Structure 1
Amino acid sequence: MFVRFSETRDLVHRTAHGLTPQQLQYRPGASRWSVAENLEHITIVEQNILASLANTLQNQPAPEKKSAVSDGQLLANFGRVVQPLTAPERLLPTSRWPLGDLLNEFDAARQRTIEFATTAADTKELRLYFMPHPFFGELDCYQWFILAAGHSARHCNQCAAIKESAGFPR
């Protein structure tokens, strides 16, 4: 899990490295997000997952529950778009941070996630606590950490497509 957090953190940095403000804000279509919007969304989602996990781990464990999918299924789809999802309004990018702060905000969120995962792994049996996902169904908290890292990779892949689009500023 921790290796994936490091790998996807580095991927996010490679995705944004050297991009000009014009490139960060380029949208390949009216309904498509820019690289900057993807980066903001990644950060917002990571912050929300962490807050939800912290709340969930305050509940009683549910050893009778089982995840709707296996770790293998999550890892097989790691970073891929399995099914396009519409983000809830609270997770939509709104340009809440200046372009120059996007990576710092992401780094801070990722660092908090890593610190929390380290602490939670030491103190809780993450497989006994569950949260619903809108596509995958019930996931245990360990799987949510897998999903957080995969979500970053998924949006970096979307950013790669933006950067390869014909109208992307060179």
Structure 2
Amino acid sequence: MRNLILVLAFLLSGSIAVKGKNLYVNDKDTLLHYFDDAKAQLLASIDGLSDEQFNFKPDANSWSIGQCVEHIAKTEGMLRDMVIDLLAKPANPEKRGEIKTSGAQVVSMMQDRSFKAEAPEMLRPQSNTYNLKNELAVLEKERNITLDLINDTPEEELRNHITITPAKEYTDAYRFLLYIAGHSLRHTAQIEEIKKASGFPKQ
């Protein structure tokens, strides 16, 4: 339970800063497309990086690209476990009207890097040296499990299992899954920032 509170507080810390965007995320097909897009952007961002580039840190307090990828995979696994736990509880569709945040707002909030949040200890990188191929294998394993969960769960089930977050906002399993893909896109943007940092290796 403590881990759940920490992770949700971390992910929702910028929820007040939601900015409207012309986005619509409201069904399973769109959700799957969103995951496909998040994966494609991440792979394009790290494709062909050398070990030196993958492990470069702009400064002592910043993460490397390898650390970002590890964090993406760790967070996906933990959030997915939360979805599984939520789906195992009795459905409470009567709470659907309490959800005030749209799918589009979740997408917008997760990608808004104008707010910063410190990851809880269990989601922080555990190493300073990473191998691109190895980290991609871990990420691919986590993503395949997540996609199996989405494909195997009726959309109504994702909508009808609702919980309240540490921010005192109601959310459902569908939106939890949006957090996963949005979190990946958020750190893909961070990876692009690292690649533009002064001193980033040319090869």
Q: Same fold (TM over 0.5)?
A: yes
Q: Distance in 1 between matches of 2:201 and 2:189?
A: 18
Structure 1 residues 156, 131: CA separation in 2 closer, same or farther (over 3 Å shift)?
Answer: farther
Q: Is 1:169 the equivalent of 2:201? A: yes
- For the aligned residue pairs, the C-alpha RMSD in angstroms reads 2.2
Deviation at 1:83, TM superposition (A): 2.4
Q: Which residue of 2 aligns with 1:111?
A: 144
Structure 1 residue runs of 5 or longer lacking an equivalent are none
Describe how 1:86-165 pairs up with structure 2 within 5 A: 86-95=118-127, 98-99=130-131, 100-121=133-154, 125-133=157-165, 137-165=169-197
Aligned-partner residue type, residue 177 of structure 2? F
Structure 1 residues 163, 98: CA separation in 2 closer, same or farther (over 3 Å shift)?
Answer: closer
Structure 1 residues 88, 133: CA separation in 2 closer, same or farther (over 3 Å shift)?
Answer: farther
Deviation at 1:74, TM superposition (A): 1.4
Q: Distance in 1 between matches of 2:166 and 2:59?
A: 26
Q: Is 1:84 the equivalent of 2:116? A: yes
Q: Distance in 1 between matches of 2:189 and 2:167?
A: 19
Deviation at 1:61, TM superposition (A): 1.3
Q: Deviations over 1:78-132 (max 9, x none)?
A: 533252111111111113995131111111111110110111126x521121345
Aligned-partner residue type, residue 103 of structure 1? L
Deviation at 1:134, TM superposition (A): 5.5
Structure 1 residues 92, 138: CA separation in 2 closer, same or farther (over 3 Å shift)?
Answer: farther
Structure 1 counterpart SS, 2:175: helix
Q: Is 1:15 the equivalent of 2:45? A: yes
Contact 1:68–1:136 at 8 Å: present in 2 too?
Answer: no
Q: Distance in 1 between matches of 2:51 and 2:38?
A: 22
Structure 2 counterpart SS, 1:77: helix
Structure 1 residues 131, 159: CA separation in 2 closer, same or farther (over 3 Å shift)?
Answer: farther
Deviation at 1:51, TM superposition (A): 1.1
Contact 1:69–1:136 at 8 Å: present in 2 too?
Answer: no
Q: Is 1:47 the equivalent of 2:80? A: no
Contact 2:55–2:129 at 8 Å: present in 1 too?
Answer: no
Structure 1 residues 93, 136: CA separation in 2 closer, same or farther (over 3 Å shift)?
Answer: farther
Describe how 1:61-80 pairs up with structure 2 within 5 A: 61-65=91-95, 66-80=98-112
Deviation at 1:166, TM superposition (A): 1.1
Contact 2:55–2:130 at 8 Å: present in 1 too?
Answer: no
Structure 2 residue runs of 5 or longer lacking an equivalent are 1-30
Structure 2 counterpart SS, 1:106: helix
Deviation at 1:137, TM superposition (A): 3.8
The alignment's TM-score, normalised by the length of structure 2, stands at 0.76
Q: Distance in 2 between matches of 1:96 and 1:137?
A: 36
Q: Percent identity?
A: 27
Q: Distance in 1 between matches of 2:87 and 2:114?
A: 28
